[in-house]
Amino acid sequence: MERQVNQKGWLMVLPAILVVALNAVIPLMTVVNYSVQDSFGNNQFFWAGMSWFVELLHSERFHAALGRQFIFSAIILLIEIPLGIIIALAMPRKGWGVPVCLVLMALPLLIPWNVVGTIWQIFGRMDIGLLGHTLASLGINYNYTQEPIAAWLTVIIMDVWHWTSLVVLLCYAGLSSIPDVYYQAARIDGASRWAIFRYIQLPKLKRVLLIAVLLRFMDSFMIYTEPFVVTGGGPGNSTTFLSIDLVKMAIGQFDLGPAAAMSLIYFLIILLLCWIFYTVMSLEDDEPQGGVL
């Protein structure tokens, strides 16, 4: 009897399995297939074993791109998460300011990635860009096509401009869900502004912050389009992040084997780091959320 129920169960999840297989498992397996072979023209493939993985893990080029990627994601998280919280705290709770702020906040999120890249590419140019030209006339050498620091600044500011809104909107939603009585109780208890943030707002924001950190980490760790449009990975290799490096390898050089091995390692790193973030941030959540609130 029980066995029959189980069989039916499989039938029910079959559509989901098919969809996941088509859009995730099969492409992933293709990549696995490439990663253990060497390819030549004429569609000839040779077994390469783990050699691409070994080679990649010892490759300085990969280490450098991975290092840049970590530094970039760390900077992005360190800026966007606190900034997002601060902006969300400063946003109005009621009145006409609410829709105005929400629309303004949502605007950057509605712009396609490559358009964002183009906007900042032009904005930062020293000859015609508003930002670049202003800085240049102030005597600051802001040439992001030649100066690694200027290039990094441009990419970081662009990402902050583009994605802080996401953190703001998530945090704002979290803050709006806190009932007024909590603030009233805090005032009666004589809590300082900091104590209110630390003991009321932050705990209630924890869940949305987890989502915000995960999303921003994953997205920034996989960033491709904007730096590709703005800097093309340069000057030199200074803004060549993992995705850009991967595309160079796979499409520029047509090294399918190493590129596939790199994709898999890349994927595993993201998976591992997300798991770590998730575990650490939900560590104290073991007790069930009971009661009315």
Distance CA 281, CA 278 (A): 5
CB nearer to another protein: pick between 122 and 178: 178
CB of 202 to another protein, least distance (A): 8
Distance CA 32, CA 76 (A): 31
- The answer to whether residues 246 and 262 touch, using CB atoms and an 8 Å cutoff, is yes
292 binds another protein (CB under 8 A): yes
112 binds another protein (CB under 8 A): no
SS3 content of the chain, % helix, strand, coil (to 5): 75, 5, 25
The number of residues that bind another protein (CB under 8 A) is: 24
139-198: contacts with another protein (CB under 8 A): 179, 181-182, 184-185, 187-192, 195
Distance CA 20, CA 233 (A): 33
225-284: contacts with another protein (CB under 8 A): 284
- The answer to whether residues 256 and 250 touch, using CB atoms and an 8 Å cutoff, is yes
CB of 278 to another protein, least distance (A): 19
Distance CA 94, CA 33 (A): 56
Instruction: Give me the sign of the Cα torsion angle 133, 139, 143, 148.
Output: negative
CB of 175 to another protein, least distance (A): 15
Binding mask 196-215 for another protein (x = CB under 8 A): ---xx--xx-----------
CB of 94 to another protein, least distance (A): 13
Q: CB neighbours (10 Å) of residue 293? A: 10
CB nearer to another protein: pick between 99 and 203: 203
Q: What does the binding site for another protein look like in residue numbers (CB under 8 A)?
A: 179, 181-182, 184-185, 187-192, 195, 199-200, 203-204, 284, 287-293
